[in-house]
Amino acid sequence: MKTKLLFLCSLMASLIVTSQQHEHQSSRPLSFPDIPGYKSLKTDLHIHTVFSDGYVWPNIRVMEALRDNLDAISLTEHLEYQPHLEDIPHPDRNRSYAIALEEAKEHDLMIVHGSEITRSAPIGHNNAVFIKDANPILQDKAEKAFAEAKKQNAFVFWNHPAWHNQSPTGNPILSDFQKDRIKNDELHGIEVINSVDYAQESLALALEHNLTIMGTSDIHGLIDWDYTEKGNQRPITLVFAKERSIESIQEALFAGRTVAVYNELIVGKEEFLVPLLKASIVVEKATYLRNTQVLEIELKNSTSSNLLFENVSDYTFYDSSPVFEFKAGETKKVALKTLEKKNEITLKLKALGCFTAPKVSPTISWTISPEN
């Protein structure tokens, strides 16, 4: 009995220590390299909890974000749509933000204050982030809500513009209301990826009207249930910030320095997507196979996304298909037939599944000097 008691005490102590040392990180944490001049910050700025129409408490959202290795999140509760109000009355619309902020204070996660302005078409749903107080944004007239968000220097983006409840065709419709908000500097971004949906028409609108490209999970349930257990990662916005701070994220969003990411789908303006992809593939080694003019190049995918490439170099591959998948974190060898030994070659890969415009995939180039 004494031995059994000692064993149980030892087991309990071990569990306590393990719990205290536990780091909130999943088996597939999100990871992307910095690009020249900027830090690549991983954000999800469209999230819901029980304080609007979500199904979890705000502290769970913080824990999920830590597991996914995010840098910043925003709990954007619907201001007007409050289905749990009878069970969770909260006259202060800042409440979920306050709970998340308290949970995150001992962790390396930034909480951006935000809310969702929720109206029917043609106004639609819009997130206002970097707000100071959600309560004054709750207005009878949508125009007044947007004006109040602007007064608080909020960054406002249009949510799921291609959502069939707003547009039966599944294509976004830029109404006079949105055009006026853009003209009044009250609408700054647009989701091109929302949940599992990508709309190239939304990307077209972003490019045409110089709107910041956004990707978000719009999570209501659990990240594990809706994404991880289905083999997917949560959609995020990669923000290219001058430093790791909320103020720098805000500045970068207003400047349009983003790409949207969902699994292997990466969407953004060429000036940011190309350097991101170039930094994502690290050339670790390049040597000619013995007594040949076949150059073997060792590459590493330094991101958490599987990437799909097509070889569009001047040289063909020796022993593999020109189209190949490059799994997250994988080191891969490709062999180019250069026909004669070169002191320098250019490897050109077309990033299939990545888009700088509708149906336009970028080509990334690496200058490689083979080892002697």
Peptide bond into 91 cis (omega under 30): no
Please, where are the H alpha helices in the chain? 2-21, 58-67, 95-104, 142-151, 176-183, 200-209, 223-226, 246-255, 270-280
Residue 165 pLDDT: 74
Q: What is the DSSP string of 253-271?
A: HHHT-EEEEETTEEEE-HH
User: Do residues 284 and 333 touch, judged by C-beta distance below 8 A?
Assistant: no
Residue spans of the domains in the chain: they are 26-263, 276-368
What digits encode the pLDDT tens for the residues 271-294?
999 999 999 999 999 999 999 999
- Provide the sign of the torsion angle of the four alpha carbons 360, 198, 42, 81, taken in this order: positive
Residue (of 162, 233, 150) closest to 191 by Cα position:
162
What digits encode the pLDDT tens for the residues 208-264?
999 999 999 999 999 999 999 999 999 999 999 999 999 999 999 999 999 999 999
Tens of pLDDT along the chain (372 residues) come to 444 444 444 444 443 433 344 455 555 799 999 999 999 999 999 999 999 999 999 999 999 999 999 999 999 999 999 999 999 999 999 999 999 999 999 899 999 999 999 999 899 999 999 999 999 999 999 999 999 999 999 999 999 998 877 778 888 999 999 999 999 999 999 999 999 999 999 999 999 999 999 999 999 999 999 999 999 999 999 999 999 999 999 999 999 999 999 999 999 999 999 999 999 999 999 999 999 999 999 999 999 999 999 999 999 999 889 999 999 999 999 999 999 999 999 999 999 999 999 999 999 999 999 996
Q: What is the pTM of this model?
A: 0.91
The one-letter amino acid code at 20 reads Q
Residue (of 282, 286, 285) closest to 301 by Cα position:
282
For the chain, what's the residue count?
Answer: 372
**Alpha-carbon gap, residue 336 to 107, rounded angstroms:** 46
* Residue linked to tokens 């050109």: 348
Residue (of 268, 275, 276, 198) closest to 232 by Cα position:
198
Peptide bond into 235 cis (omega under 30): no
Beta bridge partners of 240: 40
**Alpha-carbon gap, residue 221 to 48, rounded angstroms:** 8
The answer to whether domain 276-368 has CATH 2.40.160 is no
Same CATH topology for 26-263 and 276-368: the answer is no
Q: Which CATH architecture group holds 26-263? A: Alpha-Beta Barrel (3.20)
Beta bridge partners of 104: none
**Alpha-carbon gap, residue 214 to 201, rounded angstroms:** 13
